[in-house]
Structure 1
């Protein structure tokens, strides 16, 4: 790690380094023969431009394969609105090369810079620009390395040869609103599907998604600080409204098309596509209510699909990274909630039990399926937030790599593993390249060393054993400092696990603690990493269940830690912002002040796939939406509340805050609104991110001193 700027404060450093991710290696891939590792990393802890790099596993030598500064001639990047939106969906704040795709041998990498197409010869360590129509998105080489396909901001899917010739369109939209080869908004934001086309293993054709957003309602995101700026048009599928219509086509390299057919009316969500040498293409398609889904096999000759597996759940079905997929010998790999356990299923056999809670599949070899998992819900031997890596093979399930007591992730191919491990004691992650148990190399991080050290104390809190972390001020002495004002610092909702066995995710909580608070982070029901029942306990009741668990964790931890329950504040962003506002509106007996960042205040303003999974369809259950809304609770406010919102946010739009503020004003309830001009849901701007932390501390201290 590099040393910090001596003029820095923690808020400034935290913002400048994008939460200490700048300079850290990321986006790993391993060649099928294990000869090289490919990854991205910037040159320094404050330089956001990533370079494409390789590591020779035989020698451990690193080499730069592509430098964006060289390729762009030292000029600045220019991102199209479509690329900016794509990065917002993926929460991407860095610059330079932010993603790449490889051919089948991992000899050629393709990537976009400033909407232009580039290719890198990874063996030679050279990169060049390829002639292409732009601005473009998501270039991907064919497995044989002869072609590169790419999508354009005009909605085309195009193809060019890697020798720089033959650029042409494979599919062109017939009208505005149609795109070929791009994931629609809801797939990117909620399904973790950020791509819209897939090469055939034989490189002779592609599966290509066609998305038509004509049915989707239009919203307009304005810039009130610059009234001359034309508002941005956003096709936003809010709960209860139409989604984009998504189909799938087989397209030959000569442009011939065959439509892939399934019951799109019953299963409109195209959630997963998998095409490998292990078998015919696989689709996972979901019903709109997400209580039923199908895994279907595609006939590449006719486009007809055959039902392989139908799955149903009375609450909802989750989507998981890496599945469904084929093993090389043609068995289906999937993750399934069976008998209250989230288990790995290979072929017709369930291979894990209640001791593990499956998270993802990260590798499939001839011998084994490699997966990540948390400890089972009843496991007392491992700390909260632990996550490890495992191997399921002919001899059963065993640890895949040294998991330790922290959190681990990996990529694997050709007998080589890139293993990233973290712990709550040390900043960042250690990235090692292994062949079996043999250490081949360690990939260095240039991330800056944080100015402070997080000191989480982990507990399973209360009767529900809620995963929690407690932070006390650095140098705290019980006899001198006594009981401390409390700051609850949750996310507290679906997809957001805050209590993890890693150091850097806890730095902001420790910084707030060092301002004189006892900080509590609690992952109640609805958060991932425990059990299907834990996650699905929030069905039709986001508000009461998630808020009850924050209260339960607070009260249980107060029996052990110096928490002053007469001075309790809460802060959060996104779902955490919703939870913070909810806390002071519905439990003013417990919570005495709140900072609510980018909160969802009216769930009918949030998107279909997320909201309807948890609350159903608003036309069918309007009472559920009313019960989980903050708007009707506005007259109840009696505690200090600051609401913060980026006016350029196209995920949780600023209308959420404006509607709540209007309701509070109509009820005569004093509150503070902090609008952030030009800021999206990510708040990547350095000065904004730094000052937000400082303003929150001032507001909370003043509020608790009343």
Structure 2
């Protein structure tokens, strides 16, 4: 026994000596100096021959941008498709997209961000054979997209749609009534962009003869305005349509334009009668393999009934072919895939877990392709030659991701990449190869070429070993995964302890979380900037803990959707209970437990401090929702229905309703130009705290959006939060 104690003491002294030689992570390392910059495969594109792939590169020394083509098997660069040194009149480009025949490349410059996903930009078509550069428009445009034969480009400009003919330069106008804050043609409004996650609301038919698009009439949608302070004597205002929960949404209609027949005032644009009865939102449109059949997805306002309809251009009629229902809500995805016979693949939670289904062209179920008490997390595609479906799932544990293949009939499943951690595949066009992106908590992103036949690794493309080597020079601690049992639920969690952790001491705990519906924070993957910050805090003697409560994802439909109509109730109960359980551990100081979060996580951090006043001693809330009455229709009503239908769900779980319970230290942060979670949320909470005579700290970052970044902004914010933690926890 004495020898054992001596050995342990010697090991501890040796470890402490080694630890003392390590560097300490600083906020400048994370947010200013780019110390932990990672190598990636930027804008990976599989060439149609299935043997090659393209990647966008930029040489920092020569300032030359290129699109380089690599051979899958050898990994060698075989040619350069685009180089700014070869293009007169184009010094740089930001992104690229190959045309259908891969002889032309669409290059973007001068991109200007609008909202989270939308941009305006200047675009050029570069012919890699003739080396001719053609400007698409003299104006800044949105979402330019090649026609199937590569001769035309459709794009949005000033809320209308246009078609540009590359060879002649002729422009065909598709719509005429676009007007800011009134009518939008072919480009989504704010709430569709944010919550249905798409901007391009138009699509070419397979033969290029028709262009389908969604028209948004947002004249009845209430306006929201934000002051922009800038540097001038007077501030300006940004005014845009933003439907808050329970308010009017844009009225959406679907139209089909016959290409080449411009007509007058959209006279040739057929208005599609969907005939769904339940249609309220149109979250997806996509042409099938049949050039006359347009697939349209519609949702009712509660988002618990999703219908898939086929519109036939030859008869101008629609038919509902499939309906997906749920007692809570139905998720919208991009997984609809048409096979050559116009049968289609679909994903659904109808059996309690997200799985893949195969339907015939009439919407009749042929078979369920995957099944089991686990979730399909990504659908990669279907290979007609081998009759295999490729997908990602959590079959190897809910904090991990694996890549799999299975026959269309659900048989002969193969595990292609299942090393513990996160595997994500990008398949070649002919499904011969896939590039696997892999990381874990201890291994930074590694990119390997694998055989799609059996998953066998052929070669390493990039492995970020330099980052790993550099990271190991710092004082870092492992992320320890565990499960915690609270409120009759088993929750995933992780813990980061100080490198010199001593179980005989007591440590303060800083809890991080997001907790939003279907989200996951506890994952076996390489961390980002916040994870480096957590390591820095661990260096300072804090234990970091993250818990995914009920309502988060990848543990089945019932676990995820049990928070329906009560956002913030069960998640808060779980975070409080988890903190109380942690406080029972000998090495944790139960009087010094703090919590933080951003956006939904800020909503949670506020609620946890107020409602768990005897459990949490401090909290930081960044850009929080403070009442779901202030947030948008699509997201909020998906989980809460409308405030008119569910007033108690909105009000009883709002931090504003619990300010009187505040005992600990509270830091509240927001950007004044947050178009997503409006600063109104923070102002209303501030006023409630003031009237409750509760002291707290707060900061407003002028003209910063939901991400609160730009220049030294992130460095300043994280310095502020770090100082607050050191002072209050």
Q: TM-score, normalised by structure 1?
A: 0.87
- Out of 52, 57, 60, which is 1:36 matched to? 52
CA distance in 1, matches of 2:296, 2:33: 39
- Residue 79 of structure 1 corresponds to which residue in structure 2? none
CA distance in 2, matches of 1:473, 1:698: 18
Residue 211 of structure 1 deviates from its aligned partner by 1.7
CA distance in 2, matches of 1:9, 1:372: 34
Residue 538 of structure 1 deviates from its aligned partner by 0.9
CA distance in 1, matches of 2:85, 2:702: 30
- Out of 397, 402, 405, which is 1:388 matched to? 402
CA distance in 2, matches of 1:285, 1:183: 15
SS at match of 1:140: strand
CA distance in 2, matches of 1:336, 1:49: 45
CA distance in 2, matches of 1:613, 1:271: 13
Residue 189 of structure 1 deviates from its aligned partner by 0.6
- Residue 104 of structure 1 corresponds to which residue in structure 2? 100
Deviations along 1:416-458, one digit per CA (max 9) or x if unpaired, are 3232111221123425364544656644478983755562111
CA distance in 1, matches of 2:65, 2:235: 31
1:231 is the counterpart of 2:245: no
SS at match of 1:222: strand
- Residue 369 of structure 1 corresponds to which residue in structure 2? 389
Cα 1:384–1:695 shift into 2, 3 Å: farther
CA distance in 1, matches of 2:189, 2:285: 14
1:55 is the counterpart of 2:70: yes
- Out of 584, 587, 596, which is 2:621 matched to? 596
Cα 1:387–1:439 shift into 2, 3 Å: closer
Kept in 2, the 8 Å contact 1:111–1:118? The answer is yes
CA distance in 2, matches of 1:137, 1:678: 24
Kept in 2, the 8 Å contact 1:28–1:418? The answer is no
CA distance in 1, matches of 2:213, 2:247: 25
Cα 1:30–1:701 shift into 2, 3 Å: same
Kept in 1, the 8 Å contact 2:516–2:552? The answer is yes
Deviations along 1:129-185, one digit per CA (max 9) or x if unpaired, are 424142111111112211121112x11212223336223322233544222221222
- Out of 181, 184, 200, which is 1:179 matched to? 184
1:297 is the counterpart of 2:310: yes
- Residue 575 of structure 1 corresponds to which residue in structure 2? 600
Cα 1:39–1:169 shift into 2, 3 Å: farther
Q: Larger Rg: 1 or 2?
A: 2
CA distance in 2, matches of 1:609, 1:18: 37
CA distance in 2, matches of 1:39, 1:529: 31
Deviations along 1:586-636, one digit per CA (max 9) or x if unpaired, are 111111100100000011110001101111111122121111212122222
CA distance in 1, matches of 2:522, 2:51: 36
CA distance in 2, matches of 1:308, 1:410: 31
1:170 is the counterpart of 2:184: no
Cα 1:155–1:397 shift into 2, 3 Å: farther
Cα 1:431–1:440 shift into 2, 3 Å: closer
1:420 is the counterpart of 2:437: yes
- Residue 345 of structure 1 corresponds to which residue in structure 2? 357
Cα 1:164–1:440 shift into 2, 3 Å: farther
CA distance in 2, matches of 1:541, 1:354: 28
Kept in 1, the 8 Å contact 2:368–2:410? The answer is no
- Out of 500, 507, 513, which is 1:490 matched to? 513
SS at match of 2:712: helix
Kept in 2, the 8 Å contact 1:520–1:554? The answer is no
- Residue 113 of structure 2 corresponds to which residue in structure 1? none
Cα 1:462–1:622 shift into 2, 3 Å: same
With 455-464 and 579-588 compared, the bigger mean Cα shift is at 455-464
Residue 384 of structure 1 deviates from its aligned partner by 4.5
Deviations along 1:513-561, one digit per CA (max 9) or x if unpaired, are 2222100111111222211111101111111211122233334455668
Alignment of 1:538-687 (within 5 A): 538-557=563-582, 562-687=587-712
Which consecutive residues of structure 1, in runs of 5 or more, have no partner in the other structure? Answer: 1-6, 77-95, 376-381
Alignment of 1:179-258 (within 5 A): 179-224=184-229, 226=231, 228-254=234-260, 255=262, 256-258=268-270
Kept in 2, the 8 Å contact 1:101–1:141? The answer is no
Residue 127 of structure 1 deviates from its aligned partner by 7.4
- Residue 118 of structure 2 corresponds to which residue in structure 1? none
Q: TM-score, normalised by structure 2?
A: 0.85
With 454-463 and 273-282 compared, the bigger mean Cα shift is at 273-282
Deviations along 1:236-279, one digit per CA (max 9) or x if unpaired, are 11111111222221112213422222147731211122224267
Q: What is the count of residue pairs matched by the alignment? A: 667
Cα 1:438–1:130 shift into 2, 3 Å: farther
CA distance in 2, matches of 1:194, 1:427: 32
SS at match of 1:208: strand
- Residue 414 of structure 2 corresponds to which residue in structure 1? 399
Kept in 2, the 8 Å contact 1:371–1:390? The answer is yes
SS at match of 2:722: helix
1:286 is the counterpart of 2:299: yes
Residue 340 of structure 1 deviates from its aligned partner by 2.0
